[in-house]
């Protein structure tokens, strides 16, 4: 069901491989500090589509582009989440995370930009390793 107040929904198009909401990270796009406690993901002009009526089957996809920068900093507090029945395990630390982003839909003259990164905050973030599916028992 499409929310009544939804105006834009920007996401990567379905890749030729069939993957959805996944894009390759260019070389240098992900930077990890030498101690592994800070990570930065920055991508510019990622091709996406603006699909305001998504997930409705009749929603029209308009070419758009997105740029963003996200930074995670470990707090050092350990986190382990494991569900053997679902073959899922996460081991890592809690983190602080900040992000800034912008979207452009040139064909309709629309653009949006978030507030600066230094004003951003999140309530939950973690850094670490996830194992699932057939890799769980390895």
- CA gap 54, 65 in Å, rounded: 17
At 118, is the secondary structure helix, strand, or coil? helix
Quick one: pLDDT at residue 99? Answer: 97
Of 114, 112, 121, 119, the C-alpha closest to 100 is 114
Share of the chain above pLDDT 90, in %: 68
Does 7 or 92 have the greater pLDDT score? Answer: 92
127, burial (CB in 10 Å: exposed 0-12, middle 13-18, buried 19+): buried
pLDDT for residue 81 is more than 80: yes
pLDDT for residue 80 is more than 60: yes
Of 76, 78, 69, the C-alpha closest to 102 is 69
Quick one: pLDDT at residue 82? Answer: 96
Q: How far is CA 95 from its chain centroid?
A: 15
- In the chain the first and final C-alpha atoms are separated, in Å, by 39
In angstroms, what CA-CA distances link 44 with 22, 30, 47, 110?
A: 15, 12, 9, 17
pLDDT for residue 54 is more than 80: no
At 127, is the secondary structure helix, strand, or coil? strand
pLDDT for residue 13 is more than 90: no
Does 75 or 51 have the greater pLDDT score? Answer: 75
pLDDT for residue 79 is more than 60: yes
* Mean pLDDT calculated for residue range 34-61: 89
Number of neighbours of residue 17 by Cβ within 10 angstroms: 7
């Amino acid at each position: 069901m499409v929310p009544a107040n939804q105006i834009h929904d920007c996401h990567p198009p379905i890749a030729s491989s069939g993957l959805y909401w996944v894009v390759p990270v260019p070389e240098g796009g992900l930077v990890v500090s030498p101690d592994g406690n800070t990570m930065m993901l920055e991508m510019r002009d990622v091709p996406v589509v603006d699909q305001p009526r998504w997930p409705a089957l009749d929603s029209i996809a308009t070419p758009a582009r997105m740029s963003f920068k996200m930074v995670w900093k470990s707090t050092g507090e350990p986190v382990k989440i494991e569900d053997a029945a679902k073959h899922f395990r996460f081991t890592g630390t809690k983190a602080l995370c900040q992000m800034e982003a912008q979207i452009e839909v040139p064909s309709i003259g629309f653009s949006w930009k978030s507030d600066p990164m230094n004003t951003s905050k999140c309530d939950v973030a973690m850094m670490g390793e996830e194992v699932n599916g057939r890799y769980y028992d390895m």
